[in-house]
Structure 1
Amino acid sequence: MEQLWGRCAGVEGLFVDPVPPPREVLTLRGCSPEGLLSEVLAEPAGSYRGLSDVCVEVWDDEEPVQWWTLVDAVVVAHQPYRGDPARYDIVVGAGVRKEEGSSFEPPAAPRFELFAGTTAAAPGAGRCSAVDDLFKPRADPAPVPLEVIGCEAAEPLLGGTQRPRRWTRGSADLLVLDRHGAVMASQSVSLAVTGARPSVLGEGLEDITLTDGGADRPPPAVRPVWAEWYQGPPTAPNGWAPYDSQGRAAWLDLTTRAWRVPAPRPDRSGGEYHLDGRFVTDVPGLHCALAEALLGPGRYFGREWNAFKDCLAGGFGVVPPFTLAWHESETSRRALADVVEDPEGRLSYFEEAVRLLERSGVTVHLR
């Protein structure tokens, strides 16, 4: 059962960039490079071209069991692998982050797949036989605090403000309201109170410092997206189009709550829908446009591949069979030509999306 612990006028520190992990030096042993990693090795020594984020997927005999991210990886040096001169030992500098949802203990006989990026559509970058120092324990980065301004606290939070530094109650959801009072987003925050003081906004209110404002806060770069949604859920089409991929991804994040308001009605099927493909120049743009075509501006129909498949199975407002007219489809095809969801299938994200729609019972007309 939900319990209201307080209301506040504002929050400082809601938008923060993630704290980067400390830099380390690791060696990728016995690498067979592909794609971007192969291109970097072919460049002159000392070029120090970055790889951006590299996903290291750790397999046991049958399936991947761990995922690690080498954050802002840079090739520092490389040399032929002693066991096979066609392969390389590659020294990289990077921050190291273990992704959630995977075990910590390495498999007895692991193998390592590399990807140039951290999304499901990231292209392969090769494979290697070992990664030195990957599995060592690491301390979590220090949390970034959050300042709650002008808070009208209720129990039990009120009791915590009277005993700061000695009071903690796990976590809670910070609900962010738009100008009409509707919930536009939520953020999980720790309820460890570092400090409390009379508010700058007046008598009876408090300004409260929470030790940890949460790890998944939106970055400052997407503040304009939130500012737009603060006015209320969008009603005009293509509001997401002016933003870059990061901004469009933030737009999709906000639709995940908006689709529940008002409460979903029974799925409808049949009819023809029109997708405006003029601005589908990246994967987030594709999912923005699909949702808008099927349900209207600001609505949700998946924000990545697996969620998109789930939506096509029903429960989100529209279910096949229906017809989708994809206008300016060649723009989408060209923009997503090098984005591959299934490396084994070798189809682009655009082609995979069309195939999934058709297999799900959608008649797709590319125009």
Structure 2
Amino acid sequence: MGEHDDDRATRRFRLTDTEDGLPWGICDSVDGLFGEPARGTYELFGWVPAAGEVRGWIGSRVWLLPDDAAAGGEEQGPWLLEDAESLGRPPGTDGLVLTGLDDYEGPPEGHRTPVRLHDGRRWLGSCREFTRVLPPERAAPPLVLRGLAPRERLRAALARGTRRSLDLEQAALEIRDDRGRLLTERLLWTRVTDWRPSSRGTDLIDLQLDGARYDPVPEHARPLWERRLAGPPDTPGTWARLDARGRAAWLELVREAGCRGPGRDRPAGHAYRLDGTHVTDEAGLYLALGEAVNGPGGYFGGCLAAVADCLRGGFGHTAPATLLWRDIGTARKHLSRTLTADGRPYDLFSAVLDVLAGGGMRIVPA
């Protein structure tokens, strides 16, 4: 097979230079793709639960809302912890320990005023102050591309072996499913730390990359990734039996696959059928809507703004259209009383109906 043959469909991973789009190499296996991302850890002092103890996984999005009055009137917006978990109360204290992904909108260091917490659906409790617990430093595990077929440009860089030539700068790790379809990609700041001949074939290498600037896919999502890497589901509702954490992870995979390229819009006047039996949370809403428009594993937005974008075309819908919504009462029951990031009551169910109607999709209970 030649240097420029398009063999992407036979290899799951493709390392590509983001600057020029040219590949560094392709392989079937990557060690270190899954792991535990760096999580922020916070101890909340004087914890008062709102409705029972908070234990285990508590939400894909948990908001910390500061008390502006206690902060001397200085306005502070809410802070977001994603994929938040409670480690429970430290023995002999009145506190609570939380962990979560907080790179996006994490709390500022040294905050010392009361904070209330909610998960978008209910208040979890409050504390008089909190502090960030610095975890012990640990070396990030490397990414190892096993059985990599290197392109000539990578061979040349390895042959030079200088610090500069081994710094590949920003690259994209493209990930395809078993049918050769691009599922997602992960952006990397890549520095080669080792390479050696691979046992997987002649002219193949095992390429080791510094993992310090890579956030691994969480281990809890591995089974869902493995299921999706086998190809898109053949039947609708495969997500329905997942718990809230699993639904959030599945929705992220659906979103990444659905945004890889333009979809085929059905002609105006089409009637879509949504099975709302399992629409008991926000992720379930978007998963059911995606399948209604684009079939099993289909995508049609992962938030209200994204649904509005999808309604403009390119994602299976052409206005006007009809959405036949079976068991619409389930979504009304579970999504009518939610909370905004800053803790205000919010009717997500009505907001979804308004966005759909505004995009030319008529809702008919079925």
- Residue 39 of structure 1 is matched in structure 2 by 51
1:115 to 93, 114, 117: 117
**Aligned counterparts of 1:316 and 1:207: Cα–Cα separation in 2:** 39
Structure 1: distance between partners of 2:259 and 2:102? 32
2:13 matched residue in structure 1: none
Partner SS, residue 284 of structure 2: helix
Stretch moving more, 280-289 or 70-79: 70-79
Partner of 1:354: 353
Counterpart of 2:150 in structure 1: which amino acid?
A
Q: Which residue in the other structure is 1:55 paired with?
A: 63
Distance 1:75-1:276 versus aligned 2 partners, 3 A rule? same
Which residue pairs with 1:83 in the alignment?
none
What is the TM-score of this pair, normalised by structure 2?
0.73
* 1:205 shift after superposition: 1.0
Which residue matches 2:129? 131
Structure 1 position 275, deviation (Å): 0.5
Report deviation, 1:17.
3.1
Aligned to 2:183: 184
Match of 1:13 in 2: 32
Counterparts of 1:1-367 in structure 2, within 5 Å, are: 1-21=20-40, 25-27=43-45, 37-40=49-52, 52=58, 54-57=62-65, 61=74, 64=77, 66-67=79-80, 71-72=85-86, 74-76=88-90, 91-95=95-99, 98-100=102-104, 113-117=115-119, 121-125=120-124, 131-134=129-132, 142-161=139-158, 163=161, 167-212=166-211, 215-259=214-258, 263-265=262-264, 268-336=267-335, 339-340=338-339, 343-347=343-347, 349-367=348-366
User: Greater shift after overlay, 199-208 or 95-104?
Assistant: 95-104
SS at 1:264 equivalent: coil
Classify the secondary structure of the residue corresponding to 2:217: coil
Q: What letter is aligned with 2:51?
A: E
CA 332–55 in structure 1, closer or farther in 2 if over 3 Å, else same: closer
**TM-score between the two structures when normalised by the length of structure 1:** 0.72
Partner of 1:86: none
CA gap 1:18/1:124 in 2 versus in 1, 3 angstroms? same
Amino acid at match of 1:184: L
Deviations 1:320-351 (A, max 9, x none): 4432111122344445566545753343x444
Cα deviation digits, residues 277-310 of structure 1 (max 9, x gap): 2333332222111011122233221123432343
CA contact (8 A) 1:164 1:196 kept: no
| Identical columns (%) | 29
When residues 159 and 100 of structure 1 are mapped into structure 2, their CA distance, relative to the original with a 3 A threshold, is farther
RMSD of Structure 2 on Structure 1 (CA): 4.0
Paired letter, 2:146: I
How far the C-alpha of 1:227 sits from its partner, in A, is 3.3
CA distance in structure 2 between the aligned counterparts of 1:68 and 1:244, rounded to whole angstroms? 19
CA contact (8 A) 1:172 1:189 kept: yes
Distance in 2 separating the partners of 1:219 and 1:233: 20
In 2, Cα distance between equivalents of 1:251 and 1:171: 27
Contact between 2:42 and 2:130, CA under 8 Å: does it hold in 1?
A: no
SS at match of 1:192: strand
- Find the aligned partners of 2:108 and 2:297 in 1 and give their Cα distance: 39
Classify 1:219/1:65 alpha carbon distance in 2 versus 1 (closer, same or farther; 3 Å).
closer
Instruction: Summarize the Cα distance change of 1:215–1:339 in structure 2 as closer, same or farther, 3 Å threshold.
Output: farther
Q: How many residues align?
A: 336
> Conserved in 2, the CA contact under 8 Å of 1:52 and 1:73?
no
Which segment is superposed worse, 48-57 or 307-316?
48-57
Q: 1:9 to 1:339 in 2, by over 3 A?
A: same
**Residue 319 of structure 1: how far off its partner (Å):** 4.9
User: Alpha carbons of 1:68 and 1:140: their partners in 2 closer, same or farther (altered >3 Å)?
Assistant: farther
Bigger mean CA deviation after superposition, 59-68 or 196-205: 59-68
Q: 1:154 corresponds to which letter in structure 2? A: R
Structure 2: which amino acid aligns with 1:74? G
Q: How many Å apart are 1:185 and its aligned residue?
A: 1.8
- CA shift for structure 1 position 195: 1.7
- Partner of 1:324, secondary structure, is strand
Partner secondary structure for residue 144 of structure 1: coil
Query: Do the aligned partners of 2:265 and 2:318 also contact (CA within 8 Å) in 1?
Result: no
Shift in Å, 1:11: 1.1
Structure 1 CA distance for aligned equivalents of residues 354 and 97 of structure 2: 40
